[in-house]
Structure 1
């Protein structure tokens, strides 16, 4: 597979523009108009500089050239994409490269069945589902509300399965982020199967893509993982083992697809409900949290922990595979942003998580698609779960998310309020820059 690419990250060099204007003397009306446009560009560049702190992926060498320096040495100046203005930008972006070829939004991949036409895929879109968008939500630009859709592999339920002891009310939302001066593609995706395989099973998931083709990767996972898991969950009695097999199979399928996954990948958090047993599997930093009502009030029970390369077990695996775990450095040699995964003698790929789907190059140095798991037997005090991308968790804690959702009886309204609150906090904290925001809210309806 070829090396992925993204939009150039060079910000406007205001100092150089000012020097040129001084040398040219007083500006004509036409030049003044051009200067006004430059000022607007500089203003948008200021907003761009806030984009890099939570970068999932950095590529500082679009050609993949090796850096002839020992692992402990400081990164060269080229490791700072876009100069001084790129420092903060490199802390947030999902992917940074110097290749001028922008991410192609029209990349396609073949359908599952032979003879099916290729489908164009974009982040935030869903497969065909039943039901209409909620009226109060459908008017919101770039906001997608999804109702549960039918099982991918329907079967005739038995009488026992029809007497399900636990029902669910589900809502999913994915809202595209914004980056002043950039056309933003939503790289998040989600799915929700209220009835999955049989009447007593449900499946829910959220994905957050990264890299130049991250929206395609997350879309591929959304389309294929639920189908792949049908086979494994049907044949394998061990649920954790079945989920692991499903994650690994979709990762292998991605590597053989027409999507360039060398520098692109996706997180995934999936919760599988069978009867009253909830099993959650995940890779990356998309999270799940359980809302539990107690005498002390609402409790937030984390179902996941972020897969960071600094965790002892994760770092040991990466080092054993001849990878490095270091922070990016700026032109002054100062570390910036989170710790990332690098090749031994090259400042690529720069992935800020230790587990993900796709990411072919990062998989060569210890990044894995094998998920972690948690299992909980639900009680009447367990009222709902929230699965979400880091667009939600960046400025909202698990407890805050639980308290927001707990205020609403409707899963749709709770999901909308959570996404809206996350969006507003991004606007407040990050000078107009907003990450993609996706949430799945599942309310449990216990028998009386």
Structure 2
């Protein structure tokens, strides 16, 4: 089943599911914040492209969708206006102190930490400081990184950004780095992604130090933060987060992920730029994923509209209730979904960085909904500055959402890491 709270449903669990079915109309919190379905608001809305979102909602309070119900209105809300007035969140923290570890870093809300995460009115995104020159020289591969998170929008509502990210140019030792992007969903998705951002890098310090197998260490870290979430004060029953994390040690890049936040490598070849996917989306329709969900007495189905026509993506449901409606098969948090096969155990890819590999992009699905991996690589490749490349990628994704979804925009987060190779 994986790890964390991912356990099969026993007979008692099935009885609870039947009871949930009887109370399905009253279930609170089944919605996913800014992950509501766009479906049948009107005949005109049906002609627009449906968003790939995580949760279904009937109303702004997060009531569960009933079978054969019309597509619920999106629960997302948005900040208005021009891109120049959009908030750019300072979401990552870097230390140049050679004796400092991630555990010594203060986060917003902690004593001695930054008072606020957000810079308003179009200020610069949170861009990572570089290592001291003498430290850079001792690295076999230097990096330059920038990250930016931009809240989505929906006319008439105030939008909470549920995305988060982190970036450590120097992590544990001088030849290691850690980068990540998270996309929260559900009524408390912003709290879940924020929790993962603050705790996962610290948790991974111990596992990566004690465990020689990097993939195993990353898995242990994901599972531990998932268990920690379940025991935290955050209500994770219907809320969770994706996570894509890349760990660089020397010239070896290991990426671990759950959900549909993605990573892509930009490689320069004689024929031009090539996009190398570092991740694949965790969808409940994938054979291995679906088999695990069905074995745990879950269902994988699409909602249907009032005319009986399927709508939206395939989602994970309890056997006897139309909850939770999660559109991915792996995630952190999501306690209820974990009972029917959703797991927090990540997949992995490992790559040795070559001189032709110039950068990676980690991003939430707000980027990937309307931008392909190749398009993202082509955009980033135009700029020498990681900061400018990151800003242009986020701006382009934002504009495409405005065009495709008639003013509705998902939260958009991107981390751009440029590799600076030593002279040949």
Residues 198-207 or 48-57, more deviating: 48-57
Output one character per residue of 1:209-266: Cα deviation in whole Å (capped at 9) or x when no partner.
0000001100000000000000100000000000000000000000011111000000
2-structure distance, mates of 1:5, 1:388? 25
- Report the TM-score, using the length of structure 2 for normalisation: 0.77
2-structure distance, mates of 1:273, 1:200? 8
Match of 1:147 among 119, 127, 130: 127
1-structure distance, mates of 2:283, 2:321? 20
How far has the Cα of 1:445 moved from its partner? 0.2
Identify the residue that residue 414 of structure 1 maps to in structure 2: 389
Q: How does 1:26-105 map to 2 (within 5 A)?
A: 53-58=51-56, 76-77=67-68, 79-80=69-70, 82=72, 86=73, 89=74
Unaligned segments of structure 1, at least 5 residues: 15-41, 68-74, 94-112, 121-126, 152-156
2-structure distance, mates of 1:387, 1:284? 13
2-structure distance, mates of 1:51, 1:272? 35
2-structure distance, mates of 1:370, 1:117? 26
**RMSD of the TM alignment (CA)?**
3.7
Output one character per residue of 1:69-127: Cα deviation in whole Å (capped at 9) or x when no partner.
xxxxxx734x3354xxx4xx48x89xxxxxxxxxxxxxxxxxxx9xx99949xxxxxx7
- Report the TM-score, using the length of structure 1 for normalisation: 0.73
2-structure distance, mates of 1:81, 1:299? 39
Unaligned segments of structure 2, at least 5 residues: 1-26, 78-102
Output one character per residue of 1:312-371: Cα deviation in whole Å (capped at 9) or x when no partner.
000000000000000011111111000000000110000000000000000000000000
Identify the residue that residue 293 of structure 1 maps to in structure 2: 268
Assess if the C-alpha contact under 8 Å between 1:47 and 1:432 holds in 2: no
Q: 1:373 to 1:117 in 2, by over 3 A?
A: closer
Identify the residue that residue 348 of structure 2 maps to in structure 1: 373
| 1:205 equivalenced with 2:180 (yes/no) | yes
Output one character per residue of 1:23-74: Cα deviation in whole Å (capped at 9) or x when no partner.
xxxxxxxxxxxxxxxxxxx9xx988996963220125698999x9xxxxxxx
2-structure distance, mates of 1:442, 1:47? 38
2-structure distance, mates of 1:403, 1:352? 29
Q: How does 1:119-138 map to 2 (within 5 A)?
A: 119=109, 128=114
How far has the Cα of 1:161 moved from its partner? 9.5
| 1:227 equivalenced with 2:225 (yes/no) | no
Match of 1:248 among 205, 211, 223: 223
Output one character per residue of 1:179-222: Cα deviation in whole Å (capped at 9) or x when no partner.
01111100000000000000000000000000000011000000
Identify the residue that residue 212 of structure 2 maps to in structure 1: 237
Of structures 1 and 2, the one with the larger relative CO (CA 8 A, separation 6+) is 2
Identify the residue that residue 7 of structure 2 maps to in structure 1: none
Q: 1:288 to 1:10 in 2, by over 3 A?
A: closer
Match of 1:388 among 353, 359, 363: 363
Assess if the C-alpha contact under 8 Å between 1:60 and 1:348 holds in 2: no
Assess if the C-alpha contact under 8 Å between 1:147 and 1:192 holds in 2: no
2-structure distance, mates of 1:237, 1:216? 32
The DSSP-based 3-state class of the residue aligned with 2:394 is helix
Q: 1:229 to 1:48 in 2, by over 3 A?
A: farther
Match of 2:144 among 131, 151, 169: 169
